[in-house]
Amino acid sequence: MEWESVKDSWALANQKKIPCMGYGTWLLSGEEAVDSIKKAVRLGFRHIDTAAFYGNEEEVGKAVQQCQDEGIPRNQIFVTSKVWNDNRGYENTMASFKKTMERLKFQYLDLFLIHWPASENRFENWKELNAGTWRALEELYEAGKVEAIGVSNFKPHHMEALLETANIKPMVNQIEFHPGFWQKETVEYCKRQEILIEAWSPFGRGAVLEQELLKNLAKKYDCSTAQICLRWELQHGVLPLPKSSNEDRMKNNMQVFDFSLTEEDMKQIDEMPICGFSGEDPDQIEF
């Protein structure tokens, strides 16, 4: 698929449209968060990614309301949030969602995700925990309170266990994905299942931007290393979620629709050694 701007969309498995690039809000807070989100929307972003854990859902809701006041309807802004790890299980997830909606002040949410899977290294009943959380998401979806549901940081074995009891297949899996760490097995599994991959940390926390290969490719294509990363992600059929509070960098991140990487250059990036990995393995995390 070819896009012309960040406003262009993919269709999820349920045909819900999702803009092809999102604006990440991790570590944004207070008035900086409100101002940055409004700035991103004014520039053209129509997809905002937050989470209960980020502590900025209230600011996201405030920014979206102010964008509505400026003439951009709520149904043109796609918003994602996530249930945090200490609220796993059916009842906890339902209560967490209620608080999320109170903070956002929305009538509905576009996409709701399980932030991290319960894993075997911490929980003997990890499958049941994930299943209970997912059952809550399914009910919220069926009630029309959420227009799409999915997961984050799920590896294939987490997904397989979830699908044993799920009535609705996750529509999205948001994972760490960037040059130097792209979780090929998980990506290929999700593509077979028609689950869209979203990329958190699309620049590998900045470390990737200093890699010589990407610098050389940036010279070749007359663009920035950040643009090379984002274009590589899009050409893999992955939806990137870049974050910046700097307007020039926001504009830069949006300008990736007027060039394409060759197959050879895509392959070179694919084969980069591990770089920029957060170290946060879903099977090993202690939070």
Domain residue ranges of the chain, discontinuous segments joined by +: 9-206
Model pLDDT, residue 2: 73
* Dist. CA 164–CA 162, nearest whole Å: 5
- Mean pLDDT value across the chain: 97
DSSP state of 112: E
Residue 19 has pLDDT above 90, yes or no: yes
What is the mean pLDDT of the segment spanning 253-268? 97
Annotated catalytic residue, options 23, 54, 141, 189: 54
Nearest to 102 by CA among 147, 57, 144: 57
Model pLDDT, residue 141: 98
What does the DSSP assignment read for 41-94?
HHHT--EEE--GGGT-HHHHHHHHHHHHHTT--GGGSEEEEEE-GGG-SHHHHH
Model pLDDT, residue 3: 80
For domain 9-206, give its CATH number from 3.20.20.100, 3.40.50.1860, 3.40.1000.10, 1.10.540.10. Answer: 3.20.20.100
**Active-site annotation holds for 90:** no
Type of residue numbered 261: L
Residue 1 has pLDDT above 70, yes or no: no
What is the mean pLDDT of the segment spanning 72-100? 98
Q: For residue range 176-206, what is the model confidence (pLDDT) as tens digits?
A: 999 999 999 999 999 999 999 999 999 999 9
Q: For residue range 207-260, what is the model confidence (pLDDT) as tens digits?
A: 999 999 999 999 999 999 999 999 999 999 999 999 999 999 999 999 999 999
Q: What is the pTM of this model?
A: 0.97
Model pLDDT, residue 164: 97
